[in-house]
Structure 1
Amino acid sequence: MNELDQLLQTAQGEFAAAATPADLENAKARFLGKSGRVTELLKSLAALPVEEKKARGAEINVLKSGIEAALTARRQALADAELELQLKAEALDVSLPGRARGTGGLHPITRAMERIESIFGSMGFDVADGPEIENDWFNFTALNTPEDHPARSMHDTFYIEGGHVLRTHTSPMQIRYAVQHVKKHKALIDAGQPMPEIRVIAPGRTYRVDSDATHSPMFHQVEGLWVGENISFKDLKSVYLNFITSFFETDQLELRFRPSYFPFTEPSAEIDIMFGSGPLKGRWLEVSGSGQVHPQVIRNMGLDPERYIGFAFGSGIDRLAMLRYGVNDLRLFFDGDLRFLSQFK
């Protein structure tokens, strides 16, 4: 074995003995560094004759290639070993049972709202949606609510710069929907022909300055409107009774109308219900305001109150949901407590 083969064998041995990348780099320096064994051999070529220099140079280059190959192999071996240790440290125990993610569900108010829409849809009512930031005309004036009405008090209404308010009810949709309906059928109206009836509900969020166990600054309401040439209180009672028995899935309840006052209806009435069974049996519970649409409101829709008449009602969706699901505190609907909400999945 000549000296070059012996040097290659020595380098391979030292590389194999290197336990860490740092040890390997130190061993590399002893052979391939600026003062390394191979570098010294290359420098010694300068003193040799030309013919001998070529042969000796080729042998040294073979040696250098062999050492570099051994160095690369050991580097890869150390990297593989380090990766193996890392994989073992970060290994996942795939035999553990999976952690299933819980499935969500609809909020009870959303469930109640969808149920209401479905019931009235089966009776031929459209569902309308409109802005929650309203102007004075639609929220008050068009609904026959004068400037000195208590509803316009700062203690009852959220006012916004520019003369707008957070709508205090979904009743503005009476006017918005009816005005569009009248425009659509203006040719029939002008010709004295019957206009298709206005039959619509408007569910959505509303806002008033109020907060306790049965009231919230933001709450949900469904407004109902039916306008035609011969719509009476009889139709109101029939429609609402059909709705309320379907919503609570029971025929064991009674309906009564109590005289009341609303500026946009005349005559007006509060609607109470009484269950014939269950924990609320025998108690009258207020669930809605209602009445025949006021003639001035009919005019503001663009219709002749001598020809067209109708009824309107407004029910609190939150209150209906409380009765349906047996909830005794309105605030539970808005606290976001999953222990409460998960019961409705």
Structure 2
Amino acid sequence: MTLKTTLRASLVLAASALLLSGCAATAIPEPGPATELRLGYFDNVTHAPALVGVQKGFFTEALGDTTLSTQIFSAGPAAVEALSAGAIDAAYIGPNPAVNTFIQSRGASATIVAGATTGGAALVVRDGIRSAADLAGTTLATPQLGNTQDVALRSWLTGEGYKTSITGGGDVSVSPTDNSVTLSLFQAGTIDGAWLPEPWASRLVLEAGAHVLVDEASLWDQGDFPTTVLLVRKDFLRDHPDTVTALLTGHTASVAWLNANPTEATAAINAELLADTGTALPDPVINRALEHMRFTIDPLAATFPVSLRAARAAGIGKNGDLDGLFDLSLLNAVLAEAGGAPVPAEGLGRE
């Protein structure tokens, strides 16, 4: 063998060894729980399981040696962007952004591991608007383009015979706007109403004189529709199932506490809002908001195909298969250990 041939063979072997070692380093995750869990949520009453889970220490207790880090968002698409970029590991989020990321990534980005909240969203409007017929030519706000309330409003308007556009035109102009700005714009008379989650719907009613034109619960069988679910990055779930199980343990404890302590819920929610934002909400606002929602670990999987069809009809949703959207296996393991009944994925994932 010549020196040139020997050198070439040595380089090939060295490159192969380097490639294999690199693949092994990236393909094999650290075993056991993660050192940190980065959790996103909104400072909305509809995210009360997250707020209470943080404030009462349910997450920290369940996570043990895993450090909990939190990040606050104002709308679902922004949280999904952070999740997809790997900036957070899990998020409390609305159904539509969860569906969008799942479809766009062909099931690779994230999966829903539990429900959190149902109800708590409404179209609130100014005086003089008493029916859908009064909405022609008006401007209505939603929290963000493509978020759960944005899709709900556009779908409902389509059903009422109105055309909307994602650029703001149409028979009714839909203006995606930050919730706090929406309140100011409504008080100034710049917009005519908004489809909002709690506590913002209640704030417009109690602080700005709005009234409810459509309670979203009235559009669903038995009034049940998911407002908030718990979404986890798929690679984080794959690499750290023990940590996700711990998160779900804290989550179920938070939901159980909220349902068992309704009279104490206002103070607990406000304590975390104060810690996060420096501002607490008036008790009448939170109390009114809580009247329009309930907390449950069931994500109501059967409603998701309905929501996807509505989003498509409104020109927001994308075609795609929802099979695998849910992985409720770890949740059901937590429930089984506590003697609870399993939560169904309705054929859309693991149970």
TM-score > 0.5 by shorter chain: no
TM-score, reference length from structure 1: 0.22
**Which structure carries more relative contact order (alpha carbon 8 Å, separation 6+)?**
2
**Which of structures 1 and 2 has the bigger CA Rg?**
1
